Structure 1
Amino acid sequence: MRAKGLETAIRVGGAVVVTAAALLAAVLESFLVPYYIAGIAVPLAGAIAFVANWRLAALAVYWTGGRWSVILTSLTWFAVVLLASMPTGAGSLVIGSGFNGYMLLLAGTAGIALALWQYFRPRPNAKAPSAVGPRPPAQATPTATKESRP
């Protein structure tokens, strides 16, 4: 009984840690949206969002042992990004409508979509024979024997 409680604590702790990591990643990505090098928009936030959303989902599944934990990281990221893209009462916002802002939204959503596909895609039926799976044992065939000379 004690091992089960420890396992549950690890799973809940893992869920809390990956949710906090998704929150931190979304805030960091939001503030990296206006990133320019020599006047050229560089979609660094979008690249980080794609990789972070995809791999944080994998980490969540690993730590919690359930594929539904992908939803934790996805909803956390979407909540932060949606709040950062809404203007405040004074009219300021973190994620502006420009190339980098759209790339953040597109790439982050693509990372989440890839993670969802990876963990929720339909799997082939385990009972159906597979073309690459193990083959049934071959039936024994009698071996040819040489006839003895008379």
Structure 2
Amino acid sequence: MRAKGLEAAIRVGGAVVVTAAAVLAAVIESFLVPYYIAGVAVPVAGAIAFVANWRLAALAVYWTGGRWSVLLTALAWFAVVLAASMPTEAGSLVITSGFNGYMLLLAGTAGIALALWQYFRPRPKAPRRSVDGPRVAAQATPTATKESRP
């Protein structure tokens, strides 16, 4: 009984930590949107968003043991990015509508889509084994004998 309680606490704690990490990653990525080197827009925020969303989802599944925890990281990231892309009453934005802003939104969403595909894609069903095991399958396959050769 005590081990089940500890396992549940680890799962809930893992979910909380991964959700907080997704929020923190989204805030950092949002403030990296206006990153330029020598006047050229460098989409470093988009690259970080792709990798962070994909791997945080994997960490969430590992810590919680359920594939539905991918949605925790996705919803937390989307909430922060949508809030950062809305103008305030003064009209200021964190995520601007430019190359880097669009790359952040596109790459972050692609990372989430990859994680969702990875954990929710339909898997092919394994072939059914008979009661007798592999011997029946071996007998059902035709073998080349001396009589069957031309």
What range is the shorter-chain TM-score in? 0.7 to 0.9
Q: Compute the TM-score of the two structures, normalised by the length of structure 2.
A: 0.86
Long gaps (5+) in structure 1:
130-134, 140-150
Structure number with greater Rg is 1
User: Of residues 136, 141, 146 in structure 1, which corresponds to 2:134?
Assistant: 136
1:87 aligned to 2:96? no
Structure 1 residue runs of 4 or more that deviate by more than 6 Å after TM superposition: none
1:39-78 deviation line (CA, Å, top 9, x unaligned): 0000000000000000000000000000000000000000
Structure-2 separation of matches of 1:128 and 1:90: 64
Alignment of 1:64-79 (within 5 A): 64-79=64-79
Structure-1 residue corresponding to 2:106 = 106
Query: What's the TM-score, normalizing by structure 1?
Result: 0.86
- What are the Cα deviations for residues 18-41 of structure 1, in whole angstroms up to 9, with x where unaligned? 000000000000000000001000
Secondary structure of the 1:91 match is coil
Structure 1 counterpart SS, 2:134: coil
SS of 1:81's equivalent in the other structure is helix
Counterpart AA for 1:136: P
Which amino acid is 2:45 matched to? A
CA RMSD of aligned residues (A): 1.3
Name the amino acid aligned to 1:39: G
Aligned residues between the structures: 134
Q: CA deviation at 1:127?
A: 4.3
